[in-house]
Amino acid sequence: MIIKRFLFILVLFSITGCSTFENKPIVPDETALNIENRSLDDPGLKTFINQAYNRPSDQNQFDNWGLDDLTLAGFYYNPAIKVAYAQWNVATAGKKSAAERPNPSIGITPGNNQSNSTPTPWMAVFSTNFIIETAGKRDYRIENADQLANAARLNVISAAWRVRQDIWNSFIDLYVSTKRQILLSDQFDINQENLRLLKLQFDAGAISAFELAQARIASDTTKLALLDETRAKAAALAQLAKAIGVPVKALQKTIFTFDDLNVPAQMPIQELRRAALINRADILASLAEYAASQSTLGIEIAKQYPDIGIGPGYEYDQGDNKWSLGLSFTLPLFNQNQGAIAVAEARREEAAANFNALQTQVLNEIDIAQINFRATLNKKKSAEAMLADLIKHQQNAQKMLNAGEISYIQLIGVRLQKNSLELSHLQAEADLRLAYAQLETSLQIPLEFNAAIWQGASQNSEPLITRNTP
């Protein structure tokens, strides 16, 4: 009877609190369809963006999409952030596992003595073993799991910055292609007008066939450049869709606004540089990984001290009740865990080297981005000055044409020069904006991207957790 009761209690404890397996298969057809159906009109996306802007969730202000809006869409859709967030969930679950205490063990050994059946032939030995962890092993495990979870959280932020940079670069490329199409279309119209006038002069015998051929070649070259720019714009749109995490068809009818592609005139680069060297997400993640390596070393050192097993027991011996209390622990005779300690020490040194290497890399990235930004800023200023001079020159040429001092073909030549310089100015502007994007990414501090929006996105988005930015 006692044995049956004991077995019943044992089974009851075994099934209490057990998790059950839930099958969650992945159906590729369904996931592919979900990806294909992603769009900027998704109600969940609009709610997320409104929350980031601290607007009412039902507010509908999505006629034009700028850089900030597209960045938030990337935070919502991009699979890299989803993966980083899933990894953070894994690390967070590790905290629960690390805090668990070892389960006690229990055993039963029934027996029967047929040579002596008075008062009963039955015997049963019940033994238990409760493990008491020593030397703070559990505390070290918890600290290790906390640091790894923190590193994973910071990796989500790093992923968000990479998404931000990819969207920014693609959006700048789209802006440049859009503007180049307009300028090249104007250039083609000017070349066509020039070709028409030169053909009249050729028919009148005023110019040679060579001069007319040169004008035709220039017009054809512009036409080819315009066709190539159409391809470049389509490629930029596809890259932007990839950076956001949506199919390209989701952007084909979108109206874009490029008003937020601004570059501030002045920035406290040195202060931002110092802040980045200690506050960048990947640097903080590397610090967390180093702290985790320290706690790992603490665990291995603590393993030198054996855990203690306390085993109260009960024996039913043919009608006699006997109680016992056992004590057990591992004797560190053949090793004191020196091998695992040596490995943990080496990994701590490796983590320190990785941190130093990363900080050096970040410093170099910021320096390169800063140099590139200053160079492109000077280039843009020079292009602006040259364009301003040429605009004045065109205005003077128009006055000279009105006064009959030059021909209309000569004015067309000035217009072509201005158009060519406008293309150069556009490229200088694009280079500056790309350099600025590179600088912001190297600092990992929102410069042009509204910091309040970034914070709002982090607080309201499941896959984005951020930190306070300086």
Q: Terminus-to-terminus CA distance in the chain, angstroms?
A: 71
Per-residue pLDDT at 333: 83
Per-residue pLDDT at 328: 87
Q: Which of 110-114, 354-358, 457-461 has the highest mean pLDDT?
A: 354-358
Half-sphere exposure of residue 186, counting CA atoms within 13 Å on the CB side?
A: 15
- The yes-or-no verdict on residue 453 having pLDDT over 60 is no
Residue 322 lies inside a defined structural domain of this protein:
no
- The yes-or-no verdict on residue 15 having pLDDT over 60 is no
Q: What angle is formed at CA 170 by the lines to CA 169 and CA 176, rounded to 5 degrees?
A: 90
Residue 291 lies inside a defined structural domain of this protein:
yes
Q: Which of 144-158, 209-223, 266-280, 441-455 has the highest mean pLDDT?
A: 144-158
- Structural domain count, the chain: 1
Q: Which pLDDT band holds residue 461 (cuts at 50, 70, 90)?
A: very low
When comparing pLDDT for 265 and 456, which is higher? 265
Neighbours of 271 (CB within 10 A): 11
Helix ranges (H only) for 245-337 are: 269-279, 281-302
**Considering the chain, what is the average pLDDT of its residues?**
87
List CB contacts of 399: < 8 A, sequence separation 6 or more.
Answer: none
Per residue in 365-384, pLDDT (tens digit) is 999 999 999 999 999 999 99
Per residue in 218-248, pLDDT (tens digit) is 999 999 999 999 999 999 999 999 999 999 9
Q: Tell me which residue has tokens 């694009």.
A: 430
Contact by Cβ (8 Å): 122, 430: no
Residue 382 lies inside a defined structural domain of this protein:
yes
Residue % of the chain over a pLDDT of 90: 62
Contact by Cβ (8 Å): 65, 45: no
Which CATH number belongs to the domain containing residue 442 in this structure? 1.20.1600.10
Closest by CA position to 154, among listed 458, 470, 442: 458
Per-residue pLDDT at 450: 54
Residue 36 lies inside a defined structural domain of this protein:
no
Residue 252 lies inside a defined structural domain of this protein:
yes
When comparing pLDDT for 16 and 182, which is higher? 182
Closest by CA position to 411, among listed 425, 388, 395, 387: 395
SS3 465: coil
109-118, 129-138, 177-186, 286-295, range with the lowest pLDDT: 109-118
Per-residue pLDDT at 17: 57
Per-residue pLDDT at 118: 65
Which helix or strand (DSSP H or E) is residue 420 part of? helix 408-443
Query: Could you give the CA distance from residue 233 to residue 279 in angstroms, rounded to a whole number?
Result: 37
Query: Could you give the CA distance from residue 370 to residue 443 in angstroms, rounded to a whole number?
Result: 10
Q: Could you list the residue range(s) of the whole structural domain that residue 241 is in?
A: 43-103+136-307+337-460
Residue 72 lies inside a defined structural domain of this protein:
yes
List CB contacts of 345: < 8 A, sequence separation 6 or more.
Answer: 297
Q: Which residues of 222-259 are buried (b: 16+ CB within 10 A; e: fewer)?
A: bbebbeebeebbeebbebbbebbbbbeebbeebebebe
Per-residue pLDDT at 117: 63
Per-residue pLDDT at 464: 46
Structure tokens at 176: 């440049």
Q: How far is CA 348 from the centre of its chain?
A: 26
- The yes-or-no verdict on residue 270 having pLDDT over 90 is no
What is the rounded average pLDDT of the residues 299-323? Answer: 86
Per-residue pLDDT at 91: 96
Contact by Cβ (8 Å): 260, 67: yes
Residue 187 lies inside a defined structural domain of this protein:
yes
Per residue in 384-435, pLDDT (tens digit) is 999 999 999 999 999 998 998 888 989 999 999 999 999 999 999 999 999 9
Per-residue pLDDT at 469: 32
Residue 147 lies inside a defined structural domain of this protein:
yes
Amino acid letter, 14? S
Strand-pair partners of 130: 310
pTM score, two decimals? 0.84
When comparing pLDDT for 139 and 276, which is higher? 139
Residue % of the chain over a pLDDT of 70: 90
SS3 245: coil
Per-residue pLDDT at 399: 92
Per residue in 163-205, pLDDT (tens digit) is 999 999 999 999 999 999 999 999 999 999 999 998 988 888 8
- The yes-or-no verdict on residue 7 having pLDDT over 70 is no
| Alpha carbon separation from 17 to 13, 14, 20 (Å, rounded) | 8, 8, 10
